[in-house]
């Protein structure tokens, strides 16, 4: 069934099709319509789930942690300051190996208050142990929610599915909504390896300060699980393609053959970059695009393979780590550090706080990079600053 819906509604339909038994929510713009739609599904009986409004985003994640410990599939959604308020409990969810799925709508962090798209909110949580997927379209949002449950429940780690505020969250486009029965064949009921059970009593996450090796072992096994994610994602993505005819992969290659300059980007800006790449190719300039879909775990092997021998790379960051630069740029440089034939990496910070990333801006950056031999520190592209 195809409907014209927003990216937020696509997230809600994806969550509904996954059949979570517990949903906790606290409203925050521009995420709120996700949980509003899920509330409609719950009140109408289309979704059989315990739907809990709580007093804060911190409480929403705490409630999901409690529910996930009992062995049920859980979902929540947030954005910006709400995700920041969850920070403490994001570590707990990952460390406790709970496959919670959360939709995060990228929004700039305050101050000043800003509702525009900015990836700093989730990229700032990159060290909490959550799998992170970045979406370009509303269709990908819905599909990624379903894949997120499949991946999270196999490796027993939480997963965050992210999409940009307003460019995607409130923009309407045609989305194929799969039949529930077909989704059930892709995503069977969740059977946890362990859970809280009054009839089978277990002690969870208990440790003594005299035995730090226990915590050490938790971290070790969580890292091992994270290292399994790329293979699990590929398998889940391939099965998804067999059933629904769509696949996304870990990264997306576009005109990489023979490219002398490759743009690396994530999120909705990729749609704009893709058009610019086509224009440069028509002019005979060998420009390509590498879209990052899986931000955590970072796809180092794919990046090393695809960028080997490429002369130049321009990384577009819709985020900033103050005092360091673009977060994606730093991750790319780190991944390439020990490789032979590595490209020269140029970092550009663009579109912060919802500022439009136009084709002209992308084209100007491409022209600039093609003319330069040595990169400076990550450049905040200032042509849009008044």
- The pLDDT tens digits for 146-193 are 999 999 999 999 999 999 999 999 999 999 999 999 999 999 999 998
In terms of Cα–Cα distance, which of 296, 28, 350 is closest to 165? 28
What is the pairing mode between strands 287-292 and 251-254? antiparallel
pLDDT of the residue at 203 = 66
pLDDT tens readout for residues 77-91: 999 999 999 999 999
Nearest to 236 by CA among 162, 161, 144, 158: 144
What's the helix, strand, coil split of the chain in %, to 5? 45, 20, 40
Structure tokens at 319: 């985020």
DSSP letter at 53 equals: E
**pLDDT at position 15:** 98
In whole angstroms, how far apart are CA 77 and each of 18, 112, 155?
15, 23, 21
pLDDT band at 386 (very low <50, low <70, confident <90, very high): very low
Burial 173-190 (b: 16+ CB within 10 A, else e): eebebbeeeebeebbeeb
- Please report, in angstroms and rounded to a whole number, the separation of the first and last CA atoms in the chain: 46
pLDDT at 92 over 80: yes
Other CB atoms within a 10 A radius of the CB of residue 112 amount to 6
Q: Which residue has the tokens 């529910």?
A: 67
Residue 359: pLDDT over 80: yes
What residue ranges define each of the domains in the chain, with the CATH number in brackets? Answer: 2-244 (3.40.50.970), 251-384 (3.40.50.920)
Tell me the average pLDDT of the chain: 94
pLDDT computed for residue 383 by the predictor = 59
Which residue has tokens 């940009």?
164
Q: Is 241 helix (H, G, I), strand (E, B) or coil?
A: helix
Sequence-separated (6 or more) residues with CB below 8 Å from residue 368:
none
- In this prediction, residues 301-311 reach a mean pLDDT of 96
Give the separation between CA 314 and CA 97, rounded to whole angstroms: 36
Average pLDDT over residues 291-307: 97
CA distance 305 to 303: 5
Helix (H, G, I), strand (E, B) or coil at 74: strand
346 or 375: whose pLDDT is higher? 346
Q: Token pair for residue 112?
A: 């000043």
What gap in Å lies between CA 31 and CA 103, rounded to an integer? 8
pLDDT of residue 385: 52
Measure the CA–CA gap between 177 and 180, rounded to whole angstroms: 9
Please give the Cα distance from 162 to 180 (Å, whole number): 23
Between 378 and 289, the higher pLDDT residue: 289
Nearest in space to 316 (alpha carbons), one of 382, 270, 285: 270
Which of these, 198, 319, 329, lies nearest to 267 by C-alpha position?
319
186, 239 in Cβ contact below 8 A?
A: yes
How far, in Å, are 30, 105, 114, 313 from residue 111 at the CA level? Answer: 16, 18, 8, 32
The model's pLDDT over 326-346, given as tens digits with 9 standing for 90+, comes to 999 999 999 999 999 899 999
Distance of CA 82 to the CA centre of its chain: 16
Q: Read off the pLDDT of residues 201-259 as tens digits, 9 standing for 90 and up.
A: 766 666 656 667 677 888 899 999 999 999 999 999 999 999 999 999 999 999 999 99
């Amino acid at each position: 069934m195809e409907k014209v819906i927003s990216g937020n509604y696509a997230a809600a339909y994806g969550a509904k099709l996954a059949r979570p038994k517990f949903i906790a929510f606290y409203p925050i713009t521009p995420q709120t319509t996700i949980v509003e739609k899920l509330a409609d599904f719950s009140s109408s009986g289309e979704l059989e789930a315990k739907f809990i409004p709580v007093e804060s985003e911190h409480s929403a994640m705490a409630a999901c942690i409690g529910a996930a410990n009992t062995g049920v599939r859980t979902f929540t959604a947030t954005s910006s300051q709400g995700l920041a308020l969850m920070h403490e409990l994001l570590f707990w969810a990952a460390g406790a190996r709970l496959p919670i799925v959360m939709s995060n709508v990228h929004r700039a962090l305050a101050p000043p208050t800003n509702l525009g798209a900015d990836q700093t909110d989730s990229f700032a949580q990159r060290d909490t142990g959550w799998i992170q997927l970045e979406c370009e379209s509303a269709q990908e949002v819905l599909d990624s929610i379903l894949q997120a449950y499949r991946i999270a429940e196999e490796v027993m780690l939480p997963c965050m599915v992210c999409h940009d505020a307003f460019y995607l969250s409130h923009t309407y486009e045609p989305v194929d909504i799969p039949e529930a029965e077909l989704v059930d064949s892709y995503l069977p009921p969740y059977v946890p390896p362990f859970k809280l059970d009054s009839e089978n009593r277990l002690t969870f996450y208990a440790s003594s300060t005299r035995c730090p090796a226990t915590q050490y072992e938790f971290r070790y096994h969580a890292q091992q699980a994270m290292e399994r994610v790329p293979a699990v994602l590929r398998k889940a993505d391939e099965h998804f393609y067999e059933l629904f005819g769509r696949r996304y992969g870990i990264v997306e290659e576009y005109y990489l053959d023979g490219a002398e300059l490759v743009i690396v980007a994530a999120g909705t800006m990729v749609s704009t970059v893709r058009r610019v790449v086509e224009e440069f190719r028509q002019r005979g300039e060998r420009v390509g695009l590498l879209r990052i879909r899986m931000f955590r775990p970072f796809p180092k092997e794919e990046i090393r393979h695809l960028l080997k021998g490429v002369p130049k790379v321009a990384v577009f960051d819709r985020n900033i780590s103050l005092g360091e630069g673009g977060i994606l740029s730093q991750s790319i440089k780190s991944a390439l550090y020990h490789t032979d034939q590595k490209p020269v990496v140029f970092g550009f910070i663009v579109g912060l706080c919802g500022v439009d990333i136009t084709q002209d801006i992308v084209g100007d950056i491409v022209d600039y990079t093609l003319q330069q031999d040595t990169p400076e520190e990550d450049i905040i592209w200032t042509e849009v600053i008044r």
